[in-house]
Amino acid sequence: MRIALIAHDEKKPEMMEFAAHHEVTLREFELVATGTTGKRLMEVTDLDVERKESGPLGGDLMLGGEVAAGECEAVIFLRDVLDAQPHEPDISALLRICDVHDVPLATNLASAEYVLEGLRTDLD
């Protein structure tokens, strides 16, 4: 199973904490991320993360392509709803493609916990 990980700049610290806290569980999955998020994840954990382009360069669209191709079972996109910067990925296209293909998309830590637990249950 493959999980895509994306975080707006202000949410990257939360993504790092989430990944560090769930590192053992996340090792059970193939991980793919936008460029900067993936780089930071590999710096703070021992997780193997396939990196796509950074969000502003289309990494979020590349991940959406994986969802459309049936190559990604879930997306965790920690987004900054209050102060997202213009260069950061927009969730609308990714949300649409996840809805079309019935792929869960978590947008905050609480929903990320549930998605990860659900995927882990599927593995068992």
Residues annotated as catalytic are: 60
Q: Is residue 112 part of a domain?
A: no
* Predicted pLDDT at 106: 97
8 is in an annotated binding site: yes
Does 113 have pLDDT greater than 60?
yes
Mean pLDDT of 97-119: 97
The total of structural domains in the chain comes to 1
CATH assignment at residue 55: 3.40.50.1380
Q: Is residue 122 part of a domain?
A: no
Q: Is residue 74 part of a domain?
A: yes
36 is in an annotated binding site: yes
Which tokens hold the place of 56?
């502003």
35 is in an annotated binding site: yes
**Structural domain boundaries, residue 39:** 2-6+18-103
- State the pLDDT confidence band at 87, using cuts at 50, 70 and 90: low
Q: Is residue 114 part of a domain?
A: no
Q: Is residue 108 part of a domain?
A: no
Mean pLDDT of 88-111: 91
Looking up tokens 């502003």 gives 56
Does 89 have pLDDT greater than 70?
no
Tens-digit pLDDT profile for residues 41-66? 999 999 999 999 998 889 999 999 99
Write the single-letter amino acid at 53: E
> Cα 76 from chain centroid?
4
Q: Is residue 124 part of a domain?
A: no
